[in-house]
Amino acid sequence: MDLLLILTYTALCIAVFKIFKIPLNKWTVPTAVLGGIALVGTLILLMNYNHPHTALGGQYYVTTPIVPGVRGEVIEVPVTANVLLKKGEVLFKLDPTPFQAEVNLQQASLAEAKQLVLGLEASYKAAQATTFKAKAERDRTLQQFKRYEKGYKKGAFTQSDVDNRRQFYLSAEASLEAAKAEERRAKLAFESEIMGDNTKVAQIRALLTKAQFNLQETVVTAPTDGYVTQLTLRPGMMAVPVPLRPVMTFLHQEEDFFVGAFRQNSLLRLEKGFKADFIFKALPGKTFQGEVVGVLPAIGESQIQAQGTLIGTDALRRQGRPLVTLRITDDISQYNLPRGTSVEIAVYSDSFEHVSIMRKVLIRMKSWQNYLYLDH
């Protein structure tokens, strides 16, 4: 662009000198040269500051490493690489045999524990019946004791008869108290199970829930809409729940965004909503329009973490660039570009808008330059 401006200015100066027949001397020529330097330099500086450009740009996307929740042998991989999937579709399956066996075992244990609960209920009802019987026996012996006591006063019974009936009554009263105690114990055990406080049943239910969860983990599904690429998983392989050993990578189907690293000098000319131009090395001679989404609030090179060493001068020498997120408003789906394509970006601020034409011409010239490269 600067060469184009120089050539344009040179042609203009030649025309002026020819048309107006200005003599070439030590005053006119230096004046024209210095004027050109000042004019072209000012325009370029205004363009660089107010309409920033960066060649450090690219498309970024989010991926999820797929790691199984349990260890097992892969028995089926129904997914096809690079084919769009819906959320919940099966990615692969593990052999469920040991996990199904564990579920069956815990279900049997739970059934056994529930039979114990039925036994507790039966014991409680039996204790209630025993208490009712003991109360009836106590009431019967009490009535006999009172009848013998009245008869003794009238001379119908002896003191020995009265004492015997009194002992029968006291024995029945003691039996009633014992029956009541047994009923309370049986009731407490039964109600504890009904309220879910039975420790054994609670433990078995927890183990059953865990076993069912592990069984469900043998079928791994897509976390969101997206697709799998570079698929190398095959039936017969062993999948293990180790974070550092994912078996496949899932790419989420969501809005693509671009990130550009701009100079810190241009931070005041990078705001949300500013228009932008994008050029791809993969698409020479083409320019696409977009806009600024926002400026990330932190620069990665300046981050620090808690550690045992002090920060030195070298850390301050790392002058990072602010990252700007952008989106393309033009439709580029027809070109089928792979995700992660590099891009050059020019942003047009609302300051010195008339100078933006220089940046627009320059970015289009750079786009045509993408036809030319020597490495082969």
- Closest by CA to 360, choosing from 348, 352, 349, is 348
d(CA 173, CA 167): 10
| pLDDT on residue 117 | 62
Q: What is the pLDDT of residues 98-114, one digit of tens each?
A: 999 999 998 888 777 76
Question: Quick one: tokens of 259?
Answer: 């990130």
First to last CA, the chain: 28
Q: What is the pLDDT of residues 178-225, one digit of tens each?
A: 878 877 777 766 666 665 545 677 788 889 899 999 999 999 999 999
Per DSSP bridges, beta strands 323-328 and 257-261 are antiparallel
Tens-of-pLDDT digits for all 376 residues of the chain?
Answer: 556 666 676 777 777 667 767 777 776 667 767 776 777 778 888 888 999 999 999 998 889 999 999 999 999 999 999 999 999 999 999 999 999 999 999 888 877 776 666 666 667 677 777 888 778 777 778 787 777 777 767 666 677 776 777 787 778 778 878 878 877 777 766 666 665 545 677 788 889 899 999 999 999 999 999 999 999 999 999 999 888 889 999 999 888 889 999 999 989 999 999 999 999 999 999 999 999 999 999 988 888 888 888 888 887 777 889 999 999 999 888 998 898 899 999 999 998 888 888 889 889 988 998 888 877 6
d(CA 165, CA 142): 8
Rounded to two decimals, what is the model's pTM? 0.68
Q: What is the mean pLDDT of the chain?
A: 83
Tokens 């498309």 sit at which residue? Answer: 59
Give the SS3 label for residue 301: helix
CA 212 to chain centre: 23
Computed on alpha carbons and rounded to an integer, the radius of gyration of the chain in Å comes to 45
Segment (H or E) for 344: strand 342-348
d(CA 27, CA 33): 10
- Answer for the pair 302, 320: CB distance below 8 angstroms, yes or no: yes
| pLDDT on residue 92 | 95
Name the class of domain 63-95+218-252. Answer: mainly beta
Q: Which residues contact 361 (CB under 8 A, 6 or more apart)?
A: 1, 4
Pick the CATH number of 53-61+254-376 from 1.10.940.10, 1.10.3480.10, 2.40.30.170, 3.30.70.260: 2.40.30.170
Q: What is the pLDDT of residues 128-160, one digit of tens each?
A: 778 887 787 777 787 877 777 777 676 666 777
Question: Quick one: tokens of 158?
Answer: 């002896």
d(CA 214, CA 220): 11
Segment (H or E) for 294: strand 288-295
Would you list the domain boundaries of the chain?
1-50, 53-61+254-376, 63-95+218-252, 98-213
d(CA 254, CA 251): 9
